[in-house]
A and B are shown apart, each in its own frame.
Chain A
């Protein structure tokens, strides 16, 4: 139930979709392929599913080469982006489709469908047509239709993209619980960083056909290795810096002490808005002052844009700031990361 993607390369005409991608998915892992549209994440998923052929490279499933297997021979099932439910079949027949394809005896299909239906909590709806269901229900049918086949790997192609925000969060948590319960290997494709951070054990960040960074959600969020990852996952302030003396970095805000000394002449310092300290504690040495350009009320916190450099940060639980206030904030050394890309 492990998947090995080995040097997979794929082009469409002159467009590069995947550039020699390597990826190892461990058994029982829930990973997310995260990236902007056009980054190749869907292509990679489709290659694993057998709906696309790589130009070169291999896909191994449990050490067995399945690169040349047809999609209908792979013990892998997919939840499609728009669900791809069969409109001419009712829910029961949609879910039973895979079992019927494999000529499972009807006597066995009935109980298994019931089991799958209750797994996704759609009891009592099996005789409905697909268009009579809401988006969330359709998504669950798609999930049941894939899971009933007991796939070694479950692929999910942006399964939440058509749902509204509240439902999405509920289903993300449900999906996570489902994974814990069933314990298979799940691979999810998404462009939604919240979704990636919520559901997966490991996040694979992709851009322009390459894997940029991978790690647990907190690793990728806390320790981005590139400007792209830092800006794609959450918000970040970027400060251009030059190497200064004794571990300091010269920036437009003056000299700042980053996490580690710069190893190259030029670098970018990165700090997330919620890590900026205000009010500023005595111990903080990296002090930046400025005028409030914009103060946005966000309910539980306030978002502040600071002139002159446009530094963004959030405050909570203190007196609200007003536009024009002159303040001083701290950029703690521990959170001031150094990026070279």
Chain B
């Protein structure tokens, strides 16, 4: 066990406190009977009941989930195929570098720029087909666009960690082509694919900027709802909603960590 100077631990804990104090504040407030202000007026579940009864929130939650799920499925398929294309075929170095640059660009581009670019594109494409009009499909397209790179990079790092002689061993044992992919490659990169999909899912749930720009006036998601409500004035209902979202995150983190630990166990081989 390495000992740290006390002040290092202190700053570290302070940083954690900075992250948690507001969140804990929200959780406490969500149970506060006081409608306005922070003074404790007793424990209540009223706000959760209101939340549960709120049709708009139902719709927003449903939209958020639909967007996250659909975009994750699309980006995982596209991203995994791209990762395979990257690491399993004999590309020339120049072509590789160019493709690599394209792949990293969405990762480092500020969200607002990507959102602006998408708005421009959709305002042109909406004349081509109604699907590209601002709304659910547009938001999904936007999400997939930033998810692809993350999925590809995650799967690719898993692929590059695999020894090439597993493929050779499979060939030596009379396998090949699709059979080999199904029996060796796919099971081996599955942890990478799941990790990539998880990352994509969280990124989508988390996203506000791109959704906000491409959703149009009709579509409501949870982040957009919260953003709008703080303009309309904060209500305890939002505290309750935030608490629920926080809880979902905690569950998601636990699931992910559990999963990552399993992966580490397997990687030990």
B175, B179, B266 — which one has the most chain A CB atoms within 10 A of its CB? B175
Q: Which residues of A contact B172 (CB under 8 A)?
A: 49-51, 71-72, 76-78, 80, 146
Is A111 part of the contact surface with B, judged by Cβ < 8 Å? no
Is B169 part of the contact surface with A, judged by Cβ < 8 Å? yes
Count of chain A residues near B, Cβ 8 A = 29
* Chain A proximity mask over B133-177: 1 for CB below 8 Å, otherwise 0: 000000000000000000000000000000101101111111110
Report whether A98 and B187 are in contact in the complex, using a CB–CB cutoff of 8 Å: no
* Chain B proximity mask over A59-74: 1 for CB below 8 Å, otherwise 0: 0000000000011110
CA distance A130 to B268 in the complex (A): 10
Which of A18-26, A81-89, A175-183, A309-317 lines the interface with chain B? Answer: A81-89
With A87-B188, A87-B269, A130-B269 known as contacts, the answer to whether A101 contacts B174 (CB < 8 A) is yes
* Chain A proximity mask over B180-217: 1 for CB below 8 Å, otherwise 0: 00011001100000000000000000000000000000
Q: Which residues of B contact A191 (CB under 8 A)?
A: none
Report whether B269 and A101 are in contact in the complex, using a CB–CB cutoff of 8 Å: no
**Interface size range of chain B in the complex:** 20 to 34
Measured CB to CB, the closest approach of chain A to B168, in angstroms, equals 5
Q: Which residues of B contact A82 (CB under 8 A)?
A: 163, 165
Is A121 part of the contact surface with B, judged by Cβ < 8 Å? no
CA distance A82 to B269 in the complex (A): 12
* Chain A proximity mask over B236-269: 1 for CB below 8 Å, otherwise 0: 0000000000000000000000000000001011
Q: Which of A77, A80, A98, A102 contacts B165 (CB 8 A)?
A: A80
Report whether B187 and A101 are in contact in the complex, using a CB–CB cutoff of 8 Å: no
Interface residues of B (CB under 8 A from A): 163, 165-166, 168-176, 179, 183-184, 187-188, 266, 268-269
17 residue pairs bridging A and B, Cβ less than 8 Å apart: A51-B171, A71-B172, A72-B172, A78-B169, A82-B163, A86-B170, A86-B184, A87-B266, A87-B269, A88-B188, A97-B175, A129-B269, A130-B269, A131-B266, A131-B269, A146-B172, A146-B173
Known: A87-B266, A97-B183, A98-B173. 20 other contacts (CB 8 A): A51-B172, A70-B171, A72-B176, A73-B174, A76-B172, A77-B172, A82-B165, A84-B163, A84-B166, A84-B168, A84-B169, A86-B166, A86-B184, A87-B188, A87-B269, A88-B184, A88-B187, A97-B173, A131-B268, A149-B174
